[in-house]
A = this chain, B = another copy of it.
Amino acid sequence: MDPPDEAVPCRLKLPATLESLDPFQDFVRGQIRESRCPQETQFKIQLALEEALVNIAHYAYPPGGAGWIELACRLESGGKRLWVEIRDGGRAFNPFERGKPDMTASLDKRQIGGLGIFLVRQMTEKAEYRRDGDTNVLTLQFGLDAAP
């Protein structure tokens, strides 16, 4: 099978719930299968996706509502890079406006928070946010050869 054309990303749109996490992970796993990238790189991609998707499931929509998440992805640079775009229709939130969590705080004092977004940044080559109309758009880029 030829690699999917760079102009046509594959897409999956599902309810913004934790039940959708596994289908999203399976979907991306299927897309990068042919790139044969190292397993550890795949785990890092899964980590960034989990953090981003769980945040939308938890925080983006009012409780009880029917929110959605749409994930688009494609291989780029001849299979050397993975591009992922995650959209939701929840309240506007730029995850990269916040400061980094205080990694030097002692264990007892340390706030448990901010870690998810920090990990998204760490696991990606590039991570950008923009608001597009009523939609939050998170664009993530991963190198598939080695660890970022």
Contacts and interface: CB of A to CB of B under 8 A. Distances in A.
A contact face: mostly helix, strand, loop, or mixed: mixed
Interface residues of A, number: 23
Nearest to A22: B30
A1 B30 contact: no
Nearest to A7: B66
A148 to B, nearest CB: 27
Interface string A1-37: 1101101111111110101000100010010000000
B8 A68 contact: yes
Interface of A: 1-2, 4-5, 7-15, 17, 19, 23, 27, 30, 66-68, 70, 72
